[in-house]
Amino acid sequence: MARKILGVLLALLFLFAGVPKLLGTAQMVEAFQQMGYSQTFRVLVGLAEVTGAVALLVPRVALYGAVLLIGVMLGAVWTLLTIGQSVIPPVVIGVLLVALVVPHSRAPAATAGSRDEP
């Protein structure tokens, strides 16, 4: 149950982060310009965030969504390191995403022969 709640919260977080990028709000346009990225890249990041967020809500593809979003967070860490800002927020979010992924990768072996859900 806690994993489902974490998945929903992370999905909401990435929806709230991705939609403004897709809409091209002034704040997002300016932020990507200041970081030296193109507006096409802003849209791609927004698409990745929204796609990953929706995927987190669909159990059959949640693992893929988490992996996609981990990639986005690694990119965020790299960007923040290169511009000299704190990397703590994307690292924390990345760790939470990994917490979603690890149980998926271990579930078949751990539950083989068991009727209980992890």
Residue 46 in domain = yes
Domain that holds residue 21: 2-105
Tally of domains in the chain:
1
38 DSSP 8-state letter: -
Handedness of CA 109, 114, 115, 116 (dihedral sign): negative
Residue 114 in domain = no
Tens digit of each residue's pLDDT (9 = 90 or more) over 35-68: 999 999 999 999 999 999 999 999 999 999 999 9
- pTM, full prediction: 0.83
Tens digit of each residue's pLDDT (9 = 90 or more) over 69-90: 999 999 999 999 999 998 899 9
Question: CA dist 6 to 28, 43, 47, 81, 99, Å?
Answer: 26, 26, 21, 27, 9
Which two structure tokens, joined as six digits, stand for 85? 């800002």
Tell how many helices (H) and how many strands (E) occur in the chain.
5, 0
What angle separates helix 88-111 from helix 2-23, to the nearest 10 degrees?
140
